Structure 1
């Protein structure tokens, strides 16, 4: 049933997050009820995150004081400059739109945005301001800019292997995150986790140290473990909220696209690794044969070939993959509940009929709006062996 190689060993922080995600995901599944939207853990997470950002502010203040008041007094301005440099690296990020992949606006794709708006209304939220079209086998929502505008990321490696109704379920899941109050996705918490991860990186011990580096490693051990402890604590405080948000997003997926489509969408998640491999294989084959003509031929029909390959996967193989996912504890990443529990919760919960339909006329209109982006992304896939 599981003849593949063992999963690669992740780093310490990733192992910790996976264990926490598994634990919280199993507890929430067993409890059934998903609890309050904001609890004491969420409040404590915000307090801890603000303290982390307070350290960054303190670095800015201390750096400015050392540069201004210590000017001409030896190394004080240099130390101040270093503190300001650290503060710049640790500063909050508000995200931005990518400039290396297609970005669609409402005026460019009115039918796609109308569909997103319809799905969002059923999910209990509003639509997005931009849609990013990329090559990866993934989909997500996030915000960008100081004003925190909304963005939907559509990876064609995922979108193109789905049936129309599964795409509705996918949109329902992603937009459901905006409606469900995922604490971890807020700018305050996310940036605090990012800052702590950077501190942990800066304080990491030097491998194969000489005498001076060995002493430095010893000196840095207490602050390194303190940072690791804070990162662990913030993970503990936010992961339950994240697991809850994923289960609620799955409910939105079923409510919008139907229970069957939501369950089928999770089956598709089990083949995403093979989709990434298939895209890499297409690129390698095209570049090995060489010539611009060969690459253009490979670009044409790339997404159709990918969809046909996934469509040929038998129900027997999906059942094998579902059983392997139980054995290995498969999840989308270290913040998601186990996939098999998500699927069981959707399949065994309230049975929903589709609230939004993706009829043939709408599908053709949206395909036309995505055509230019599909061609551009296909060129990137074929020309880049590291895609």
Structure 2
């Protein structure tokens, strides 16, 4: 019997021999006990549920296949190539424009029928105009995107925005106009409105678990999407996906509760198949390119923040489920404490400090288990991302890069101070459930 220590303060736990090969098992305590020699119990839970809907299932299959193909193609590359548009990108743009063209054709036909027709034709024209309005290209609303979340602008956080501008400039793109803060184990940069103003969303569930240098790598990845020209981030294609999603929602089959429902489902079936077909084609034309952009953004993260920091961020994303469960436990526990304790106002550790400690205590053996489990499942964040274990292998398999930008402790403290009000607000909200 081998004595080891778990992550809960160094308490010894027993590591029994593997029942398959007899080697010493790894892990224990609050983590899964598994065998690194033969992979016994590396994936004790049920595989991830199959995504609902035919479109999403096809997306997942394409994501896994493209991710593996691109890994083989790019593993020897230096990470400096652009995602570009290429033939697939041009075809995707043409198809997206055709989707929008159909919407404008509906609008034109509807207006003509309203103006020139009478009776039924005028009513039909009004319906077509209404459909065109519902399916119009949407540019996204920055105001709605930041609703109910703490928001920072340049005047509120000059040190944070100076850092964001520096990272974006190093990557070769523009910075952001607004920063929103959430509790998520995630971060993202999105464009909104006709002017395409950029919004950075900082999920404290991830941000607070990262070192200053890992935060640089995370930001380098997010800005890297714009530097490499990820077409799915573009206005034309992104809005076409939204339009197709609206069509799919409107044409979804009704529950079969009467003959009328069956007849309606039968009548809409050809249109539903057509929408699914166009969506599949647009996915096929853009998913490979989007996955390439993810690999290139990972390369940018390693270039700006350094290989070690970029690989560490990938590990954090790999154990996102662990961190999300830690946040859920904090929310439950917070409801039993007074709100001051949840926000750290009584001198005790804050929610974010406890989550960060939990993340720091995750042993390397658990990261390795999650990588092997991900390799078995083909795990990825979503259909637009390559499998996470391949992204990690791509980063670590290339020559080690030293960071172009270094975030020292003094500057990191200034940035943290500007996030402190949002941190406290979200801690109180989390404690209230």
TM-score clears 0.5:
yes
Unaligned runs of 5+ in 1: none
Considering Cα pairs closer than 8 Å and 6+ residues apart, tell me whether 1 or 2 has the greater RCO. 1
* Count of residue correspondences: 378
CA offsets 1:165-188 (integer angstroms, 9 cap, x no match): 111110010011110000111010
- For residue 280 of structure 2, the aligned residue among 232, 243, 250 is 232
1:138 to 182, 186, 193: 186
Q: What does 1:117-132 align with in structure 2 at a 5 Å threshold? A: 117-132=165-180
How many angstroms apart in 1 are the aligned matches of 2:115 and 2:429? 49
Q: Do the aligned residues in 1 keep the contact of 2:343 with 2:424 (CA within 8 Å)?
A: yes
Aligned equivalent of 1:341: 390
Question: Residues 67 and 379 (structure 1 numbering): CA distance in 2 closer, same or farther, change over 3 Å?
Answer: farther
Name the CA distance, whole Å, in 2 between partners of 1:353 and 1:63: 60
Q: Secondary structure at the match of 1:101?
A: coil
Could you tell me whether the CA contact under 8 Å between 2:82 and 2:228 is conserved in 1?
no
For 2:113, the equivalent position in structure 1 comes to 66
Say if 2:314 and 2:388, in contact at 8 Å, map to a contact too. Answer: yes
How far apart, CA to CA, are the structure 1 residues paired with 2:137 and 2:341? 44
Confirm or deny: 8 A CA contact 2:342 2:428 kept in the other structure: no
- CA offsets 1:307-326 (integer angstroms, 9 cap, x no match): 01111111111111111111
2:167–2:219: 8 Å Cα contact kept in structure 1?
yes
Displacement of 1:347: 0.6
The answer on 1:47 being equivalent to 2:83 is: no
The separation in 1 between residues aligned to 2:266 and 2:83, in whole angstroms, is 44
Residue in structure 1 matched with residue 295 of structure 2 by the alignment:
247
Does 2:45 match 1:4?
yes
Distance 1:192 1:94 in 2: 11
Between Structure 1 and Structure 2, which shows a larger proportion of helix residues? 1
Give the Cα–Cα distance (whole angstroms) in 2 for the partners of residues 326 and 8 of structure 1. 16
- How far is the alpha carbon of 1:344 from its aligned partner? 0.9
Residue 85 in 1 paired to residue 127 in 2?
no
The aligned runs of 1:13-32 (5 Å cut-off) are 13-32=55-74
Give the secondary structure class of the aligned counterpart of 1:143: strand
How far apart are 1:248 and its partner, in Å?
0.7
Give the direction of change, closer, same or farther, for the CA distance of 1:47–1:3 in structure 2 (3 Å limit).
same
CA RMSD in angstroms, aligned pairs only: 1.6
In structure 2, distance between residues paired with 1:185 and 1:264 = 25
Q: Is the 8 A contact 2:152 2:180 kept in 1?
A: yes
What do the CA deviations read for 1:157-210 (whole angstroms, capped 9, x no partner)?
111111111111100100111100001110100111111122122222222242
**Greater Cα offset, 294-303 or 250-259:** 294-303
Taking the aligned partners of 2:427 and 2:110, their CA distance within structure 1 comes to 47
Pairing partner for 1:367 from 390, 401, 416: 416
Q: 83-92 vs 139-148, which deviates more?
A: 83-92
1:294 aligned onto 2:333: no
Aligned residue for 1:150, secondary structure, equals strand
Encode CA deviations 1:238-261: one digit per residue, 9 max, x unaligned.
Answer: 111101110110011000111011
Residue ranges of structure 2 left out of the alignment (5+ in a row): 1-41, 345-349
TM-score, normalised via structure 1 length: 0.94
Are residue 318 (structure 1) and residue 367 (structure 2) matched? yes
Larger Rg: 2
Q: Per-residue deviation at 1:266?
A: 0.5
Q: 1:297 to 1:188 in 2, by over 3 A?
A: same
Distance 1:322 1:354, change over 3 A: same
1:32-87 C-alpha deviation (Å, 9 max, x unpaired) = 256761211111111100010011112222222333333xx334343333322222
> Structure 1 residue 164 and structure 2 residue 212: aligned?
yes
